[in-house]
Amino acid sequence: MAIVEIVSGDSRIFSGESLKLRCVIPNKYQASWDYLWFRGSVQLPQSGETYQLWEANVKESGKYSCQGQRETDVRTIKTLRSLPYEIHVDGGYAILQMAKRPVLIGDALDLKCRLRGNAPVHETILYRDGIEVMVQSGSSLNFHLPHVTLEDEGRYSCRVSWDLSRRTHSVMSVPIPVNILDNAQLERNKMHLICHVQYNAPAPAPPVNYYFYKNNNLLGPATSLNHMHVRKAAGWYSCRAKVPKLDIVRWSKPQSFGEVTGA
């Protein structure tokens, strides 16, 4: 299964800005692939491993996906199409962005209100479901809500105000959903990875270092444990076991968890 990753930019950008997506085929080292790109159900003309939105316009908002394709002497082989990666191109003047996902009960919720241009901001207001949550005076566009609870869930937006030519100007962002998870929900949104390794060695068995990967990217530092918990997310997962004392390295085959949608 192919996977869409964002290389540069953000999933929410202003019209006129750029971003770059990449199509990852984890086992592509076994073959040479061509790439098909889609927005919704429409195939796009680009065919490279990366897809660039230059000076994006609002009409280019949508759910982007990709697919690998290669020709053999017998037939055309295609990977499963990736899960969609949603891009929002905003034609307005303010965008609200979240610093991280997911957010757990007791965590801090950090939000940033981006403003198009360099206006001299004097006030920023944060709203939840249309109700004022926080007012900030000055030029800061960052909001920090410590120790959130389930009551902090909702659709958040921001309003930015500034003075120019003796007039006050004000713009509002499009609302974005913010979900708060409790620990039980977090556990339900995790999966358990286990790395099994076989090798011949005299007793007592020497220590083994285990490495876990998602889409060929290391998930964390090496440990002596052959298992780890990760957040559910579609992708290709693999592990590597290394026995330093015996100079043995074993790799697993990548396993696809494309049905996992994550939190």
Q: In Å, how far are 31, 200, 210, 212, 232 from 251, measured between CA atoms?
A: 19, 16, 10, 10, 22
- What integer pLDDT is reported at residue 29 of this predicted model? 46
94-184 architecture in CATH?
Sandwich (2.60)
The confidence score (pLDDT) of residue 185 equals 62
Tokens of 47: 């065919």
**Highest mean pLDDT, choosing among 17-31, 89-103, 138-152:** 138-152
pLDDT tens for each residue of 57-95: 999 999 999 998 888 878 888 888 888 889 999 999 999
Task: Label residue 27 by pLDDT band (50, 70, 90).
Answer: low
Mean pLDDT for the stretch of residues 166-180: 92
pLDDT above 60 for 259: no
Which pLDDT band holds residue 261 (cuts at 50, 70, 90)? very low
Report whether pLDDT(165) > 60.
yes
The predicted pLDDT at position 7 comes to 86
- The pLDDT of residue 183: 66
| pLDDT of res. 31 | 64
Say how far apart CA 137 and CA 15 lie, in whole Å: 27
Residue 96 reports pLDDT greater than 90: yes
Superfamily of domain 3-90: Immunoglobulins (2.60.40.10)
Find out if CATH 3.30.2350.10 is the number for domain 189-256.
no
Give the range among 107-111, 142-146, 198-202, 244-248 with minimum mean pLDDT: 198-202
Query: What's the whole-number average pLDDT of the chain?
Result: 86
Rg (the chain; Cα; Å)? 23
Which helix (H) or strand (E) segment is 183 a member of? helix 183-188
Q: Look at 201 and 52; give whichever has higher pLDDT.
A: 52
**Band of the pLDDT at 197, cuts 50, 70, 90?**
confident
Locate the domains of the chain by residue range. Answer: 3-90, 94-184, 189-256
pLDDT band at 260 (very low <50, low <70, confident <90, very high): very low
Paired residues of 30 in beta bridges: none
Q: Say yes or no to pLDDT of 189 above 80.
A: no
- What the block records as the tokens of 199 is 């090798």
Task: Tell whether the model's pLDDT for residue 23 goes beyond 80.
Answer: yes
Is 189-256 in the same CATH topology as 3-90? yes
Q: What single-letter amino acid sits at 224?
A: S
Check residue 75 and give left, alpha or beta (phi > 0: left; psi -120 to 50: alpha).
beta
- Render pLDDT for 221-237 as a digit per residue (tens, 0 to 9): 778 888 888 877 777 88
15 compared with 223, residue with greater pLDDT:
15
